[in-house]
Structure 1
């Protein structure tokens, strides 16, 4: 179980790190990582605007996931498959929530361009 929680922590850090890099322009548009929708992939500016907006829900979900997993590692009765699933749901939920947030941000910024 500890390995599963450590893997969840690694995934949360990776997702947060990639979103941070995309938001800051270090991670360019690509077909592998990031919020890859028609709208966010439409231009480099849209990519960066979308990821800046997606950063908050991604960081929040990543932080909650890391904290939950750390608590579960430290508290033996919480080391269960259900707790691993909870961590995965929080992380994936944050990623899914970031998609409409990113798209709305790009749409709002479009008239300004």
Structure 2
């Protein structure tokens, strides 16, 4: 079971890094609108500008969730009593929570930037 937990926690770290990196790239304009990666909602996909604005706004909660996930998983890897399925679930909830929180944050930023918004 220990090997499986190490693998799962390592995958969580990789996921946190990937999500943060993709959001960063969307925010700086190096990840254009696409149907595969990023915050792909009707609002953020409405234009390249909306895409960048939404990702810039989403960067703070994404970085926070990603950092918390990496720290938690690293601690869980370093402390054998924390290498449990619960630790993997906590990491997933934190990362997913950050992703879900970033959506309304992105939407508010895009709406505020619209003329008359």
TM-score interval (norm. to shorter): over 0.9
Alignment of 1:81 with 2:85, yes or no, is yes
Matched, 1:57 2:23: no
Could you give the per-residue CA deviations for residues 19-52 of structure 1, whole angstroms, max 9, x where no partner exists?
0000000000001111111111000000000000
RMSD (Å), alpha carbons: 1.1
Give the alignment partner of residue 98 of structure 1, picking from 92, 102, 110: 102
Tell me which residue corresponds to 1:3: 7
- Structure 2 stretches of 5 or more lacking a match? none
Count of residue pairs the alignment pairs up: 113
Q: Which runs of 4+ in 1 moved over 4 A?
A: none
What residue number does 2:52 align with? Answer: 48
Give unpaired runs (5+ residues) of structure 1: none
Q: Residue 74 of structure 2 is aligned with which of 66, 70, 73?
A: 70
Within 1, Cα distance between the matches of 2:11 and 2:42?
Answer: 30
